[in-house]
Amino acid sequence: MARARSSASRWRYCNPSYYLKRPKRLALLFIAFVCVSFLVWDRQTLVREQEIEVASLKAELTHLQDLLDELKSIGGNAGGVSGRNGKSSKKSTVPDDPIDIQRREKVKDAMLHAWSSYEKYAWGQDELQPQSKNGVNSFGGLGATLIDSLDTLYIMGLDEQFQRAREWVANSLDFNKNYEASVFETTIRVVGGLLSAYDLSEDKLFLEKARDIADRLLPAWNTPSGIPYNIINLAHGNAHNPGWTGGDSILADSGTEQLEFIALSQRTGDPKYQKKVENVIIELNKTFPADGLLPIYINPHRGTSSYSTITFGAMGDSFYEYLLKVWIQGNKTAAVKHYREMWETSMKGLLSLVRRTTPSSFTYICEKNGDSLHDKMDELACFAPGMIALGSLGYGPEESQKFLSLAEELAWTCYNFYQSTPTKLAGENYFFHSGQDMSVGTSWNILRPETVESLFYLWRLTGNKTYQEWGWNIFQAFEKNSRIESGYVGLKDVNSGVKDNMMQSFFLAETLKYLYLLFSPSTVISLDEWVFNTEAHPIRIMTRHDNGENLGGSDGQQKQFYRLRGRKEGRRVDD
């Protein structure tokens, strides 16, 4: 309105009476000049104002479009597209919680303390004994803690530490050792750790080293049934089973190499690794029971189960985990459908083992011998809530909710394994008694990760921050009871708090990594792009097809696949 009034006052100069006192010709010329000038000025002003208004509308439209994109992103793929270092190239649409940032830094500080202690007192050896301040070669001198820590260092952005570890791998790591190695432990820690370091960094040194150790393990699968022996000499290739199993192979030890060896074939283009480990599943599927539950001992000559315990704890656990995760690793295609089908069969069997305590109604998973159920659950079995939650996504709505609810109930029980002791750290296993809920059995704690692992999955899949709070409480209990000047130690007894003298390599590989990710944005190691092996080493998901297109080598089809998935260079959360 102000502009309109100003314009009207100016038009009085166009009135001829204004120029009566001036000569006629001059007056008319002046009138024409002034009127034309005002017409031009008004038009220019109007155009400028229209341009400003259009620009303003465009800016508002852009803002609204950005809001719409954010809403779509939140409702759709929360993970984004992972870059080579595991961080999404898209910015997180949910602001990073200041409390999460603070807690994540505390976990990172714990990793630095553990790693620095290892560097100082046990560099290049398998594990640190913090109280005596020396190293011990629990796995034949393969630098287990160092290799187990590579991806944790990388994800946390500890670049200097990662580079020092990389130099040790390049110059000092030697697998030609006259050592009787566990095929299972060497696969999940060393092969898995090296493959994860390769997938994150794209440094071919790690892939070459992974192939070297895998070649030394391969003779273990040379049995009449293809079920591997569980012990092998790394220098000579002689394989056998431990004497205490009566000559049998162990279920978890024989069925927990699939992720790593399939990934190795995908990245090298050599199918021999995948063929060895997939033959195990083919053999077990021939006599797979209706409830999907296998005893922990398998005869490597006949390929059939021996009478023994059925458990989701020690010696059984990760077999079931890998049935689900190979399906995820292959991007859930028809080529890996049988893994999912076997896993779902096993979940029906798991439901038959579920019981609840009185009076508090804690949900737990029994162990089974023959037709008898035993009211015992290992802390190792606390990986199951996370596995079940992850697998619930493959069911229809009703079944999905049923299994997710079961996962949440089991996680509550596992959390109470911690909360029920004076130190707030869990024992190794628990027994359940009518009217008395639970009591700790074997009372040591060796810094295990399984409960924190499940809390990580449940937080990622539900967004419920309660799981972050539980994880933080567990972390604080580790800080209070296990942190000493020269590293972290387990407890000989969670009731008395008496300390042991071992910093397990999986504390750095798993426990601290899952805690760090529990307080990181979901775009850091997105579950849409990565699958964790049983030692918490993230391995990239690669689509599998029946015609073998997944075996393209590290420079060919693998990169083509990455382009198809739209992966771009990203940044770590701490960059």
Virtual torsion, Cα 359, 363, 368, 374, nearest 10 deg: -20
The residue behind tokens 């999955």 is 457
| CA 488 to each of CA 48, 421, 484, 502: distance values in angstroms, whole numbers, following the listed order | 69, 19, 6, 8
| Eight-state DSSP code of residue 555 | I
Q: Cα separations (Å) of 114 from 128, 163, 486, 488, 489?
A: 9, 17, 8, 6, 10
In eight-state DSSP terms, residue 420 is T
Length of the chain, please?
575
- Residues paired with residue 376 on neighbouring β-strands, in sequence order: 431
Q: Cβ(356)–Cβ(362) under 8 Å? A: yes
Alpha helices in 76-158 (DSSP H): 98-122, 144-155
CB 402 within 8 A of CB 393: no
User: Has 569 been annotated as catalytic?
Assistant: no
Q: Which of 443, 466, 450 is nearest to 535 (CA)?
A: 450
Residues β-bridged to residue 503: 128
Q: Does the bond joining 224 to the residue before it have cis omega, within 30 degrees of 0?
A: no
| C-alpha span between 383 and 317 (Å, rounded) | 8
Q: Which 3 state secondary structure label does DSSP give 446?
A: coil
| 66 is known as an active-site residue | no
- Secondary structure (3-state) at 487: strand
119 noted as active-site residue = no
Active site residue 450: yes
Task: Give yes or no for a contact between 276 and 261, defined as CB atoms under 8 angstroms apart.
Answer: yes
Are 279 and 226 spatial neighbours (Cβ–Cβ below 8 Å)?
yes
124, 168 Cβ separation under 8 angstroms? yes
Catalytic residue among 185, 253, 260, 283: 185
Catalytic residue selected from 126, 127, 450, 453: 450
Closest to 265 measured CA to CA, from 565, 568, 557, 563: 557
Name the catalytic one among 151, 283, 428, 510. Answer: 428
Cis peptide leading into residue 295 (ω within 30°): no
The CA radius of gyration of the chain, in Å to the nearest whole number, is 32
Per the CB < 8 A criterion, the answer to whether 518 and 468 are in contact is yes
Q: What does the alpha-carbon distance between residue 437 and residue 434 come to, in Å, rounded to a whole number?
A: 7
Query: Which residues does the annotation mark as catalytic?
Result: 185, 317, 428, 450
